[in-house]
């Protein structure tokens, strides 16, 4: 078998970090700050280069990436037959044995092959045929696969990737329970960076729900790598991940644990709903961070002599009138917080409509399927 472990060679690899639409710029900044090599800005996701260890680091340390893919091959694929040949050019036994399970996901853009399901099946056939020929047995497809393969076909050119993350990276492992409409952890982390938080200023989420924004802020401020709480990543299930790799990954996690910062700013998580605050407390404990919790209405926020940054995700309803009235009261409250910065992810246009002056930053984002606006105000 052509087995080569992830530690066996100091290969130069090409990676792709995917992001929630609208968060690519902050993801690019984050990956550069993590010291990952050759990070380039790209609207559809951020490419970078490096070794296997760099790919592991991105999985462990990126707060904003949704997934990390590693490139296996690029080839033209104008037809099913050419696609099949291209997929067979990869030595699959390095990543996948016939006893393991796998899945293939395909995305087709502007290509002659348009049906993503049929295209994924062709990729699957090429892999199965190669392994059956070399090992006498074929691996099975599964919904919880050991190896996730991703094909991106654009203008008849195929890029074939392995998904290093496994479960998407927003699944940090600390969220035990949630209130209504919880934010993805990766989106919460992106909002903190988009709000320009310096990790020193006091931070408040006055409508914290299950606490995602405040917990992500505390993890970032304490320099705790978000992936340290994960049970495992996709790459740990590949054939190329053996005892040597397991030891190297333990060493890397040890290094990251010892980089934890001592001093952290005060981070306040408030909500008017006592039951949801209990969930936020349980989640914060699971994440290993300390927050100050307050059961209070956003309307009772008072300015004091310390600067603060508010990052929050207020509720949105389907009844527009109720939205408008609630937004009016929330924005009137924020207007009184002289000298503070307020960043909010608004699922309703009512928030921007109810605030003058205009926001100093306004960006469109997707929160799950819901188009949202990220609004940033420096209250004069």
Ligand X SMILES: C[S@@+](CC[C@H](N)C(=O)[O-])C[C@H]1O[C@@H](n2cnc3c(N)ncnc32)[C@H](O)[C@@H]1O
- Interface with ligand X (CB under 6 A): 178-183, 206-207, 209-210, 212-213, 271-273, 276, 297-299, 313-315
Residues 6+ apart with CB under 8 A from 61: 34, 225, 226, 227, 256
**Phi and psi of 68, rounded to 5°?**
-120, 120
Task: Give residue 297's Cα distance to chain centre.
Answer: 30
Residue 284 Cβ vs ligand X, minimum distance, rounded to whole Å: 12
Question: Closest Cα partner for 290 from 311, 267, 308, 318?
Answer: 267
Distance separating alpha carbons of residues 113 and 106, to the nearest angstrom: 11
Instruction: Using the minimum distance from each CB to ligand X, give the nearer residue, 104 or 301.
Output: 301
- Interatomic CA distance for residues 291 and 15, integer angstroms: 35
What is the Cα 339 distance to its own chain's centre? 31
Minimum CB separation from ligand X for residue 291, in Å? Answer: 13
What order do you get walking across the sheet with 370-378 strand by strand?
292-295, 267-271, 202-205, 308-312, 341-346, 370-378, 361-367
Which of 243/318 has CB closer to ligand X? Answer: 318
Measured from the CB of residue 313, what is the shortest distance to ligand X in angstroms?
Answer: 4
Nearer to ligand X, 93 or 204 (CB): 204
Beta bridge partners of 343: 311, 376
Quickly count: other Cβ atoms within 10 Å of residue 78's Cβ.
15
- In the bound complex, what is the minimum distance in angstroms from residue 120's beta carbon to ligand X? 33
Cβ nearer to ligand X, comparing 246 with 325: 325
Nearest approach, Cβ of 234 to ligand X (angstroms)? 25
Nearest residue (CB) to ligand X, 181 versus 252: 181
Smallest gap from residue 271 Cβ to ligand X (A) = 5
Residue number with the smallest Cβ distance to ligand X:
209
Dihedral of CA atoms 65, 69, 75, 78 in degrees, nearest 10, equals: -70
When the beta carbons of 206 and 359 are compared against ligand X, the nearer one is 206
What minimum distance in Å lies between the beta carbon of 376 and ligand X? 17
Considering beta carbons, is residue 156 or 273 the nearer one to ligand X?
273
Task: Compute the radius of gyration of the chain from its Cα atoms.
Answer: 23
Distances (CA, A) of 83 to 41, 101, 108: 28, 21, 12
Q: Which CB atom, from 206 or from 227, has the smaller least distance to ligand X? A: 206
Q: Give min distance, CB of 80 to ligand X, in A.
A: 44
Looking at residue 209, the DSSP 8-state letter turns out to be T
Q: Which is nearer to ligand X, 178 or 324 (CB)?
A: 178
Shortest Å, Cβ 16 to ligand X: 27
| Number of CB atoms found within 10 A of residue 192's CB | 24
Q: At what angle do helices 185-194 and 212-221 cross, to 10 degrees?
A: 60
Helix or strand (DSSP H, E) at 119: helix 116-135
């Amino acid at each position: 078998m052509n087995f080569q472990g992830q530690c066996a060679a100091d290969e130069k690899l090409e990676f792709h970090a995917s992001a929630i639409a609208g968060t690519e710029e902050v993801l690019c900044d984050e990956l550069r700050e993590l010291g990952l090599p050759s990070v380039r800005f790209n609207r559809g996701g951020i490419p970078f280069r490096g070794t296997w260890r760099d790919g592991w680091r991105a999985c462990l340390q990126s707060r904003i990436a949704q997934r990390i893919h590693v490139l296996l091959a690029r080839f033209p694929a104008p037809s099913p037959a050419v696609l099949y040949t291209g997929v067979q050019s990869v030595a699959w036994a390095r990543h996948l044995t016939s006893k393991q399970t796998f899945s293939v996901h395909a995305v087709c853009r502007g290509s002659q092959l348009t049906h993503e399901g049929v295209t994924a099946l062709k990729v699957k056939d090429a892999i199965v045929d190669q392994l059956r020929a070399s090992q006498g047995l074929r691996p099975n497809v599964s919904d919880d696969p050991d190896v996730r393969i991703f094909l991106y076909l654009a203008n008849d050119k195929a890029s074939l990737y392995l998904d290093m993350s496994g479960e998407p990276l927003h699944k940090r492992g600390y969220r035990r329970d949630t209130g209504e409409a919880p934010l993805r952890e990766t989106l919460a982390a992106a909002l903190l960076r988009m709000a320009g938080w310096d990790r020193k200023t006091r931070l408040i989420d006055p409508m914290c729900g299950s606490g995602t924004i405040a917990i992500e802020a505390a993890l970032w401020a304490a320099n705790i790598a978000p992936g340290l709480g994960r049970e495992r990543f996709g790459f740990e299930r590949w054939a190329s991940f053996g005892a040597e790799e397991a030891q190297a990954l333990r060493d890397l996690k040890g290094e990251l644990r010892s980089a934890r910062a001592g001093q952290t700013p005060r981070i306040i998580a408030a909500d008017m709903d006592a039951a949801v605050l209990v969930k936020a407390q349980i989640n914060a404990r699971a994440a290993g961070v300390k927050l100050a919790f307050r059961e209070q209405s956003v309307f009772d926020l008072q300015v004091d002599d310390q600067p603060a940054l508010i990052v929050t995700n207020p509720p949105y309803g389907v009844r527009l009138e109720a939205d408008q009235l609630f937004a009016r009261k929330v924005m009137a409250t924020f207007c009184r917080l002289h000298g503070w910065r307020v960043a909010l992810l608004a699922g309703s246009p009512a928030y921007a409509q109810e605030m003058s002056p205009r926001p100093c930053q306004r960006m469109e984002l997707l929160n799950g399927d819901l188009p949202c606006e990220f609004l940033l105000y420096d209250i004069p």
